[in-house]
Amino acid sequence: MLQSRVELRRQPVTFTFVMPVLPVNLKRHFTALGFVVLLSSMATAQEKTAELLENLRTAGPVDAPRIAHDIEREWSRSGSAAMDMLLIRGREALEEGNYPLAIEHFTALTDHAPDFAEGFHARAEAYFRRDLFGPALDDLERTLALNPQHYDAIFGLAVMMQEFGDLRRAADLYRQVLAIYPHHENASQALSRLKRDGIGREI
């Protein structure tokens, strides 16, 4: 009889050791589940963008701008509300002409989201407007390393090559833009001007 009382007293002790383990395991499972959901949403977004890019290549002049807008909206989604807010604030500063503040926001964005291509593209534009061509070029190259289909980054690189006097390379880059987005008005006009000057004509 004495032995059963001892066993009964031991049972709650064993139970108290089991309880703290349960929340830890649940937390681990929920964290893993959240990561899987994030990967799934990223894959879905990539598939959607790929489909939009394919539609852009075949769209007519009426539908192309709308599709391009949808693509650029997808490219502006980092997957983090905080990072998206940095992009928004940086763009607002850029529109207001406050380039140092825009660069500050975009730098915070690229520091915290180094795989987010749009952060580098946005900062490249801010650098370019401040006549900081070296950093702008670096950011455009980084953008294209992360997103080779980023036609606006290719266009920006073409504009810089034209500024540097490398007109043949600029023409090649404008053609790359048009291969992705055939109705990119600025690229089309820029290439036409170079062709009138005898640059960029295909033989």
Q: What is the mean pLDDT of residues 62-80?
A: 97
- The reply to whether 3 falls in a domain is no
Please give the Cα distance from 50 to 54 (Å, whole number): 6
- The reply to whether 76 falls in a domain is yes
Q: What is the mean pLDDT of residues 92-108?
A: 98
- The reply to whether 166 falls in a domain is no
- The reply to whether 180 falls in a domain is no
pLDDT of residue 197: 82
Per-residue pLDDT of 40-66, as tens digits, reads 445 566 788 999 999 999 999 999 999
- The reply to whether 104 falls in a domain is yes
- The reply to whether 84 falls in a domain is yes
Tell me if 126 sits within 8 A of 96, measured CB to CB: no
pLDDT of residue 15: 34
Please give the Cα distance from 193 to 80 (Å, whole number): 41
Cα separations in angstroms, 174 against 27, 170, 178: 51, 6, 6
Q: Is the pLDDT of residue 71 over 90?
A: yes
- DSSP symbol at 79: S
Q: Comparing C-alpha atoms, which of 124, 130, 92 is closest to residue 107?
A: 124
What is the domain range of residue 34?
12-148
Give the relative orientation of helices 81-95 and 99-112 as an angle to the nearest 10 degrees: 160
Query: How many structural domains is the chain composed of?
Result: 1
CATH number at residue 49: 1.25.40.10
User: In percent, how much of the chain has pLDDT > 90?
Assistant: 72
